[in-house]
Amino acid sequence: MELTECHVALSVSARALIDYVDPDTGMSIYGQETLDGMRERYPDAEVVSSWEAAQRLIEKEFVQPPKPIGRQEWNDMLCSKTPPVGRYGHGQTESFRLPDLVFGQTGVILARDGWRFYRLIDRIDLTHREILAKCRAMQ
């Protein structure tokens, strides 16, 4: 059997992709079960139309708002064994992310606004301006 289109079954609360689903039959490809069958193990199981949609839904579970950190933690992260990625500075502000991803396109981001320092987990494609806006909303 050759599939040209495939849907994805996932559980957001379990942070898991369950199986791929044949959109014509509604059956999972590997487990050979219906959505109701998957819901016996994962009550919140749902089917979405693409891997990207599934990844976005699960990524939201990993996002954490900015929290204040100390200058020492900022310096430790900045000078860690793995160099920062996407470092951006402008005036009294600065941001960068750690190279390892948490899940999908989410990662640990650090920001400095004057003498205030923050750590958050969010999408790595946020701009410096978007990162600062999230941090300033916490003040």
**Are 48 and 16 part of one and the same domain?**
yes
Question: Measured in Å, how far apart are the chain's first and last C-alpha atoms?
Answer: 56
Say which residue, 52 or 118, is predicted with more confidence.
Answer: 118
**5 band by pLDDT with thresholds 50, 70 and 90:** low
| Residue ranges making up the domain that contains 68 | 63-137
Q: What single DSSP character describes residue 82?
A: S
* Model-wide pTM > 0.85: no
**Are 17 and 34 part of one and the same domain?**
yes
Q: Specify if 2 maps to a domain.
A: no
Last residue in a domain, options 60, 76, 95:
60
The pairing of strands 64-69 and 85-90 is unpaired
Give percent of the chain with pLDDT exceeding 70: 96
**Are 41 and 72 part of one and the same domain?**
no
**Are 39 and 84 part of one and the same domain?**
no
Query: What are the tens digits of pLDDT across the range 99-110?
Result: 999 988 999 999
Give how many domains the chain has, as a whole number: 2
Q: How many CB atoms lie within 10 A of CB 86?
A: 16
**Are 67 and 111 part of one and the same domain?**
yes
Query: What are the tens digits of pLDDT across the range 52-96?
Result: 888 888 888 899 999 999 999 999 998 887 889 999 998 999 999
Give percent of the chain with pLDDT exceeding 90: 63
